Structure 1
């Protein structure tokens, strides 16, 4: 039987945290006199009061979190965060319709970066900061943050961390889950602060620097400019963004080993080596193609190519150039990259490289098994044998992902989108990338889509961010059985 007491308690804490974070936009509202003070204050108070009331409701049960409670907390917690997270948009009138506000908030929390705002630069500064903050909150997952403080509330969190942590990796920075969550957030906060300082040195003012630091480390891609990062067409700005996007797409365990000086452990990661190799090879190929097909200099061609490759692979979604203008072949290449994703255990979305790596390694070994049917040929990753259960899990994930992509594309096409835009919108929503192809390309917007299409894409964004199983398991009869 499901124990609803910890579910209510955790959601209550989440709402109070979300409400408190909404208030962070108030100083910017007051400084810039942008007129969104009351919208932020009222939204924050509503969330805090609702969370406090939910905490005080006497619900029978224990505070122990098991598997079922963990998955319900993640699903319902994200739904609650999105529902209350759209209040600033609605109360300020920046996005007056519920579906549009829901889409923008889901896109923020899932770090997708797709937007329905047509003139970002006219949005009040406090609301715009909240928009960036939604991505930073969702980047590592606010639920992982609450795992670190659950012991103070008398609530255990191992099952919750398993349900929320991005990717299939089981690497731990520390044997205790609370310490793992704290170290993840220390790295996350530290890198965000460091990037903010770098951008300040590069010439951005504090408001622009903090917003872009938040959305870069979250691999989110929300910008304060209509032209995204193309507005800052400067090497001293774009190269640091590229580097930190790459870092944000790296497994945080690998980053931790790097910070500790354990570079042997870093290089032993098959996934990280594949990540570095793919980015390097693609940078060379795309740079050559862009330089030959345009009048850009070698440096500009390289910077634009590398920026867009890292942005799409890490699912950040920042735009420094229109890759759909580079020809059909490169447009198709970037469409394929929508399905790649960076490393597991990072803030990026998508399928993740480790799943592709396992799939292709196993496919290659299958040819050897055909030639040697009696031989036992195990699949190894990072020097360790990949168990049959993990292999099955990954293959099923890939199959479900493609099935959802096909179904999503059919649904949004039936709702009125032409083929290219339908597959582009579905792929970028499910992969939490942001820009796609067709009518939702890197220089386009999602505001023109109908409310039903926005709602479908919002659901796909949530499914992609929570890696399919966390949501889909709730719709199986096994989940609700008492045994």
Structure 2
């Protein structure tokens, strides 16, 4: 009997594992619900129980799954179905607690969290029970490095290969290998991720002055570059220079390639300055900050002073380029020129191998280098002139993949904008909403800027934006490939 093209049982088995992890992490919200006693305890217990039982049923019903190594097809399906399943079950606390009774809104808020987009439909965040609000932040922390990597790190008993899963889930192209065994790699990444979250929590409390609840929530959503806040006014609510600078530093760190962070932890600091993308990353942040400061200081400097103007500009630049989406000020009030620059940043993203979204700077750097080299190739048509990154030549197939990705990214943006506009959303809102959804940024411009939200958009457009957020989080191809005939053919 011919072997099946796709191992359905192993897919269901591993999706069940992800759902169980979702239910277990959901239970971490229960202590906050008990402490604050705001009426969300039973909904959280029910949500966690339903999720755990459902995951357990999926696992037990496929106990006899084959332990063959997962192939690419299974890897893509596990990633896609895992995220969708996590979103479906992750929306339960919102619906059962009545914090977000409309399921379209609840699904949107959940997938925005898990994809670390940070786009919200909540009009009064402070009115949401503390337990549910902690789960909202936890969804971003889960999504930050990827629930798939988490599974591989803590469930070695799965007995299946993990490299294909990691390749499908890892955010962005990265060449360096930390360790040949994927489970050890995942453990190291999550240790760094957890440690940085803990350090930021402590710093936001001492000397930041936040209480433990606000500190841990903002740390969860900073290191994931998610941007969900416990306050309607986001970070601007705290009106604290210390808080702003702490969050700026950790947003920047979260936007750095985690491979570099690992080498930094081992004091191999030379790796940072040998990395072209990191140099472009820090150069872009500094350059844009100093380009924007004169304009902003001319608008608000008389009232705020230079330090506050500088801090607000730096905060917003780092927040948007890392796709975190926190706000300490509303950049849409800084004039058309500055707003346009921030709109361009919605496409950029920070480093590959970080928790940020967007196209990633490494792709933009390679695209620019390849573009400039075309002039040289025109003059020397017979010469082989490779693109170099980090002092090494980049293989042609990487450049072809890059061009395909950028084309598909921009095509997704254009088609998405057309669809959302067709569904009745204003043109500028539609373009901004699609750009920020595909880039997993959060705030956009117009009424969905830092001072607004997505509540007023039609439900139909929210479902489209939800799909775009998932596609953007999984770097487009992971979802799009499922809809190609090649994926379902044996040859």
Category of TM-score, reference length = shorter chain? over 0.9
Deviation at 1:151, TM superposition (A): 2.9
- Cross-structure match for 1:293: 299
- Cα distance in 2 for partners of 1:341, 1:196 equals 24
Aligned pair partner of 2:407 in 393, 399, 406: 399
- Cross-structure match for 1:43: 47
Aligned pair partner of 2:384 in 376, 384, 398: 376
SS class of match (1:121): helix
- Cross-structure match for 1:271: 277
Alignment of 1:75-224 (within 5 A): 75-201=80-206, 202-224=208-230
- Cross-structure match for 2:479: 471
- Cα distance in 2 for partners of 1:21, 1:264 equals 37
Deviation at 1:376, TM superposition (A): 1.4
Q: Quick check: 367-376 or 423-432, which moved more?
A: 367-376
Q: Which runs of 5+ in 1 are unaligned?
A: none
Runs of 4+ in 1 over 3 A off after TM superposition: 58-61
- Cross-structure match for 1:351: 359
Deviation at 1:171, TM superposition (A): 2.0
SS class of match (1:339): helix
Q: TM-score, normalised by structure 1?
A: 0.99
- Cα distance in 2 for partners of 1:264, 1:155 equals 36
Deviation at 1:99, TM superposition (A): 0.6
- Is the Cα–Cα contact under 8 Å of residues 348 and 361 in structure 2 kept in the other structure? yes
Deviation at 1:418, TM superposition (A): 1.5
Q: Quick check: 185-194 or 369-378, which moved more?
A: 369-378
Deviation at 1:341, TM superposition (A): 0.3
- Cross-structure match for 2:340: 332
Aligned pair partner of 2:460 in 445, 452, 457: 452
- Is the Cα–Cα contact under 8 Å of residues 10 and 62 in structure 2 kept in the other structure? no
- Cα distance in 1 for partners of 2:409, 2:130 equals 37
RMSD, aligned α-carbons: 0.9
1:269-301 alpha-carbon deviations (Å, 9 max, x no partner): 000000000001111111121112222311011
- Cα distance in 1 for partners of 2:119, 2:487 equals 32
Deviation at 1:142, TM superposition (A): 1.0
- Cross-structure match for 1:55: 59
Change (3 A) 1:70 1:457: same
Deviation at 1:59, TM superposition (A): 6.5
Alignment of 1:375-454 (within 5 A): 375-454=383-462
- Cα distance in 2 for partners of 1:341, 1:223 equals 20
- Alignment of 1:26 onto 2:34: no
- Is the Cα–Cα contact under 8 Å of residues 118 and 442 in structure 2 kept in the other structure? yes
- Cα distance in 2 for partners of 1:24, 1:283 equals 39
Q: TM-score, normalised by structure 2?
A: 0.97
- Is the Cα–Cα contact under 8 Å of residues 150 and 156 in structure 1 kept in the other structure? no
1:134-177 alpha-carbon deviations (Å, 9 max, x no partner): 00000000110111234312122110000000001132211111
1:337-391 alpha-carbon deviations (Å, 9 max, x no partner): 1011000000001100000010000001111111111221111101111111111
Q: Quick check: 169-178 or 8-17, which moved more?
A: 169-178
Deviation at 1:319, TM superposition (A): 0.6
Q: Quick check: 428-437 or 49-58, which moved more?
A: 49-58
Count of matched residue positions in the alignment of Structure 1 and Structure 2: 483
- Cα distance in 2 for partners of 1:148, 1:467 equals 22
SS class of match (2:359): coil
- Is the Cα–Cα contact under 8 Å of residues 29 and 37 in structure 1 kept in the other structure? yes
- Is the Cα–Cα contact under 8 Å of residues 13 and 63 in structure 2 kept in the other structure? no
